């Protein structure tokens, strides 16, 4: 039954993301006109939506990135996206650290949180940098808040470093002629990753394979030092 609920949850998320892509694509010009007419409100609203994305709706604001890229340019859109995602991830981390599982289970799947606990190796800092490039933002924030003793500052720096490459890549893709097709592909890959992470044994194998490049990175950094 728990596995069935997990699949239903992933299906709902996928449907919501597809609907978000379609809606934003249909109303992209209207959204851009609003941003151009209300620049400060546009920035604040974009940041707030990305914070909500990182706390409870991973991927929901990705369709807005092409609009942001056309309104603020590649660099500005990437910075704002990184700022919103990082702030939201810090809020999710705080929720888990301060209020624990009773509140976290109201915001995301506790089964997924417990399962993704295996993705957290001992070398937390560089692991988070790598994980942030591939894992749903809300879930990994709750996992780290619940099951680690990582400091707030280390978590913030590692999160920003991990999210920045994705934000810049998506911002540059956002001004391509087939931006929404590419965004849809990215969302599809994210859903597939969530499915893999939600299937016990295969998710554990992926976790083990992920630890090898992280350990290798740590050895190279140590040798440089």
Residue-range domain boundaries for the chain: 2-224
Q: What's residue 37's pLDDT?
A: 94
Q: What's residue 112's pLDDT?
A: 76
Q: What's residue 219's pLDDT?
A: 47
The DSSP code sequence of 106-120 is HHS-HHHHHHHGGG-
Q: What's residue 9's pLDDT?
A: 66
Residue 138 clears pLDDT 60, i.e. is over it: yes
Question: pLDDT class for 121, splitting at 50, 70, 90?
Answer: low
Residue 50 clears pLDDT 80, i.e. is over it: yes
Which range among 36-40, 63-67, 166-170, 174-178 shows the weakest confidence by mean pLDDT? 174-178
Whole-number Å distance between alpha carbons of 163 and 98: 24
The token pair at 200 is 């016990």
8 Å CB contact between 71 and 32: yes
Residue 217 clears pLDDT 70, i.e. is over it: no
The token pair at 176 is 């391509």
Q: Indicate left, alpha or beta for 199 from its phi (over 0: left) and psi (-120 to 50: alpha).
A: beta
Q: What's residue 210's pLDDT?
A: 44
Residue 97 clears pLDDT 80, i.e. is over it: yes
> Running DSSP on this structure, what letter comes out for residue 7?
H
pTM of the model: 0.77
| Mean pLDDT across 148-163 | 91
| Mean pLDDT across 48-66 | 88
């Amino acid at each position: 039954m728990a596995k069935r609920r997990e699949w239903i949850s992933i299906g709902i998320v996928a449907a919501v993301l597809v609907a978000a892509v379609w809606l934003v694509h249909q109303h992209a010009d209207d959204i851009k006109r609003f941003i151009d007419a209300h620049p400060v409100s546009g920035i604040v609203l974009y940041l707030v939506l990305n914070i909500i994305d990182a706390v409870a709706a991973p991927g929901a604001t990705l369709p807005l990135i092409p609009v942001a890229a056309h309104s603020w340019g590649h660099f500005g859109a990437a910075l704002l996206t990184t700022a919103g995602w990082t702030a939201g991830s810090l809020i999710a981390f705080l929720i888990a650290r301060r209020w624990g599982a009773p509140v976290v289970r109201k915001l995301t799947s506790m089964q997924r949180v417990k399962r993704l606990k295996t993705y957290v190796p001992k070398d937390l800092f560089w692991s988070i940098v790598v994980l942030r490039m591939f894992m749903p933002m809300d879930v990994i924030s709750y996992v780290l808040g619940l099951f680690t003793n990582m400091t707030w500052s280390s978590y913030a720096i590692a999160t920003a470093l991990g999210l920045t490459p994705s934000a810049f890549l998506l911002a540059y893709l956002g001004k391509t002629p087939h931006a929404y097709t590419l965004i849809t592909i990215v969302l599809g890959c994210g859903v597939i990753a969530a499915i893999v992470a939600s299937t016990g044994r295969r998710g554990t194998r992926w976790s083990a394979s992920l630890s090898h490049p992280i350990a290798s990175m740590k050895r190279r950094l140590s040798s440089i030092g």
